[in-house]
Structure 1
């Protein structure tokens, strides 16, 4: 073969292979700067984009807004930290946002997609932090709280302008100290070791001072795990004074009378696992996001599972506390917000439908003397009906009113506030019930221990009324209505976990609301 042909063939094979080698070694162009460049977004907005997001970009000149890397990274960090609020970072596009931010080669179209996703994630997270991931009305029939509104576009514009997106999102969280304490509680529980190897307590009889055995050893392990018993005191199986002291501390933290004796309820509380307690923390964080953002200068707060009413001023100062009796599980006290606007001295009691159906009618059908025993009058319209004329087959055709007096179920005073559930605060003719540990005993209204002390607080701005005057009105025996010159806000709320100076606090979920809420949050 001629030498020239050989050279030509060699060149033909050489140049294509050189071209391929050059293409293989060619590096992608770094276009990360496009993330920091304002780009038009109008054509990139998806069809299902929310009106709020469209309005945001309209106000921003229809250009990308997240052109500062510090703002983007602050949002990513806050999304990651959403776990501390009991929220799931995946709900806010965590993985997709992190992949976008890591790209060094990115198109203009991808930058627009990234920017819109950042805005949507900010909006969703801000909304969830401010008023919850779920709507209480979608969970419960008896929750009536004032609606909370949030202008996320205004917040976003402020965060991007100040380059402090994290701080702006942080302001969306409830500002109550209890919410901050719950976040700390969640972090604390996450730091505890796995407790699945600790034996469950098999309760057979109450355990007390000087008892011993394997069950005592298990109790001491649990007390040690939760920090109520020092580690060096938990090595043996003797129920000594240190154990009794630790049991009292544990009982106080769980709303159980502090006897130092492990009864069935204490054993049940000891058997709760760390993960079960985490569930309680998570659902209570969500409930706090539903609750009012600010309780204001003064408020009366009833925590239903704690059987306690608290007077709070300046959103944090506790002035006074009262034991209360709340609704039974099948006659729940509703969660609500209202204002106390009237006192009733020597109130009558109009029998509510539930009490009529489940209690009064069945008892009266057996013996109509039940009406006179309770001093209850029967009415049809405005006309009183004699007991002998009462039709037991149609008990719901009448109105039943209990006359005032010491035997009246509402006691001597009633606190009225507008609500759609026909409930109120009141005194009781069974004050011995306040000695009970379990106090979910009413038909839905909240009974207050020492209600006249509470009345003095409600009336403290009224110079014409005091305790002496109230006592005079009670002694007269007639029903009297006292309109308040200044109303007092009242909040009936439901939380089963919090942290205070005595440590983690847990209460029984008396209405079995926690698990269903947790399951919904994790969907």
Structure 2
């Protein structure tokens, strides 16, 4: 549903009456007592269609369906809406976007005309509709921010919700249902509240990293580290009184590292120091950006789903929308070859896959290496084709590399490893094994050309094949041993979601991950415009 960005005519008239000519409101004879006409707000009044000519089609349809009468005629309903709008800040939204100040001033009026009541009613409807939409599917359009975004848009019947809210006299409950139901979203709201309640940390000094700091080290920098750890609740105040890197400090560092996706060594390396230096307000920016992205994500993951959180380098199997069955390390796309945000369903496995070289890899990797030495093709077991005909390496034209198709043969050397998980998408990406399993030992794993590589992919294959009684792990191993490329269609597809979130709260406390594609700050800035 499209939300109109222009100020409705009714609001313009209202603002003029309320703020430009305030004396008119109470312009009465000195000996005359102003007439209290607040009861008009609770009286069904006829609505002139001309007053919402600049409103959305949804708002026009609502009043048409309501007999062209005012709808917000219950004081409790109006005040409940104002309360929910105030609380929009807990979702990282701005109450001013829903005309809160104007609505509050209007509700406080005791002397009011019928025309102003109608204008107020229209503004309440506009605000409800806008807030419901923003809570359900986000304030911004994902495609306005990201080109590599392929999640289906969410649909909302705001008028149906509005009618229900007024009939049941519970706008708060109805608007609350518009929020994502995922526990992660609720945790992000708690996280934002927690950060808002923390004191300002701008007076805590920066940690100037020169060398790794570990047990028994001491000095002013250790004292600053302890101060940051205490601020974030990883170290108790009684253990932060001196500048010695003791066992309590090492334990606190491990906890901090775990919360930030850093290998928990208990040693302050450059990555840990960088994370310690990030201030509260920057973390708030992350949380607000993640709240918005969660409003873009699917409303429900259903009975089962494979979820890849790109910045966390993690794949999770989730059932019943909340139960985590298994987790896997993954390798994702480099910042210049991002893994896309998408939803699809795994419908096929390929054993001993071949690899058709994608355009980006051809331009940035294969062609430059082959120009230096054409033996690079044989080293990688890559064959060159022109149509259906194989082209000898000696006849390869390095000036026209895009005139050919390049296919890597199956085997242990193959970049896709021994198994590939296919799902339909517009980016030619998939999940797969890898011939560089040592990369999973790395902390930062944005290393691929866009596809997602999975550690222990055959364990994942067993999960997606669990409805196929004829194909178990032993059967898969036998297929691999043949060395031949084989295709397995799935009797039951498994939904897959590739998503992007850099902040959440769980049993381990506030969790943050590096914004590897630099998406958070740009999103936050646009939300605040």
Partner of 1:66: 72
- Are 1:310 and 2:316 an aligned pair? yes
Q: Which residue of 2 aligns with 1:216?
A: 222
Equivalent position to 1:301, from 301, 304, 307: 307
Give 2:497's match in structure 1, choosing from 491, 500, 510: 491
Hey, what's the Cα distance between the residues in 2 that align with 1:47 and 1:376? 64
How far 1:23 moved relative to its partner? Answer: 2.6
1:30/1:105 contact within 8 Å kept: yes
Aligned to 1:164: 170
Partner of 2:403: 397
Partner of 1:145: 151
Structure-to-structure mapping, 1:10-409, within 5 angstroms:
23-409=29-415
CA distance in 2, matches of 1:202, 1:174: 40
Distance 1:359 1:508 in 2: 26
Q: Distance in 1 between matches of 2:506 and 2:269?
A: 25
CA–CA separation in structure 1 for the residues paired with 2:285 and 2:55:
33
- Greater CA radius of gyration, 1 or 2? 1
Measured against aligned partners, the alpha-carbon deviations of 1:191-249 in whole angstroms (never above 9, x if no partner) come to 00010111110111000000000000000000000000011001100000000000000
Distance 1:23 1:367 in 2: 97
TM-fit CA distance, 1:25? 2.7
Decide which moves more: 34-43 or 104-113: 34-43
Aligned 8 A contact 1:44 1:109 in 2: no
Aligned to 1:423, what secondary structure does the other structure show?
Answer: coil
CA distance in 1, matches of 2:270, 2:113: 65
Does the 8 Å CA contact 1:97/1:114 hold for their aligned counterparts?
yes
| Paired residues of 1:339 and 1:418 also in contact (CA < 8 A) | yes
Q: CA deviation at 1:362?
A: 0.3
Q: CA deviation at 1:42?
A: 2.8
Q: Distance in 2 between matches of 1:276 and 1:23?
A: 56
Matching residue of 1:423 = 429
Question: Residue by residue, what CA displacement relative to the aligned partner does 1:245-286 show, whole Å, maximum 9, x if unpaired?
Answer: 000000000000000000000000000000000000000000
Q: Is the 8 A contact 2:349 2:420 kept in 1?
A: yes
- CA deviations on 1:309-333 (whole Å, 9 max, x unpaired) are 0000000000000000000000000
Retained in 2: the 8 A contact 1:44–1:112?
Answer: no
CA offsets 1:101-143 (integer angstroms, 9 cap, x no match): 0000010000000000000000000000000000110101101
Which SS does the other structure have where 2:52 is aligned? coil
Cα distance in 1 between the residues matched to 2:492 and 2:42: 55
CA distance in 2, matches of 1:31, 1:86: 37
Q: What SS does the aligned partner of 2:126 have?
A: helix
> 1:147 Cα deviation (Å)?
1.4
CA–CA separation in structure 1 for the residues paired with 2:144 and 2:184: 25
Match of 2:16 in 1: none
RMSD of Structure 2 on Structure 1 (CA): 0.7
Corresponding residue for residue 469 of structure 2: 463
Q: CA deviation at 1:384?
A: 1.0
Distance 2:33 2:266 in 1: 72
Residue 23 of structure 1 aligns to a residue whose secondary structure is: coil
Aligned counterpart, 2:448: 442
Deviations along 1:354-405, whole A, 9 cap, x unmatched? 0000000000011111000000011111111111111100001111000000
Deviation at 1:158, TM superposition (A): 0.2
Q: CA-to-partner distance for each residue in 1:283-314, whole Å, 9 max, x for gaps?
A: 00000000000000000000000000000000
Cα distance in 1, alignment partners of residues 326 and 367 from structure 2: 39
Deviation at 1:502, TM superposition (A): 0.5
**Shift of residue 43, structure 1, vs aligned partner:** 3.8
The Cα of 1:335 is off from its aligned counterpart by: 0.5
Q: In the alignment, does 2:488 pair up with 1:451?
A: no
User: Structure 1: which 5+ runs fail to align?
Assistant: 1-21
User: Contact 2:52/2:60 (CA < 8 Å) preserved in 1?
Assistant: no
Q: How many residues align?
A: 502
- Which secondary structure does the structure 2 equivalent of 1:364 belong to? helix
1:512 paired residue among 513, 518, 529: 518
Residue 44 of structure 1 deviates from its aligned partner by 4.8
Shift of 1:45: 2.5
TM-score (norm 2): 0.94
TM-score in terms of structure 1 length? 0.95
Q: Is the 8 A contact 1:44 1:113 kept in 2?
A: no
> Residue 26 of structure 1: CA displacement?
1.2
Q: Give secondary structure in 2 for the equivalent of 1:468.
A: helix
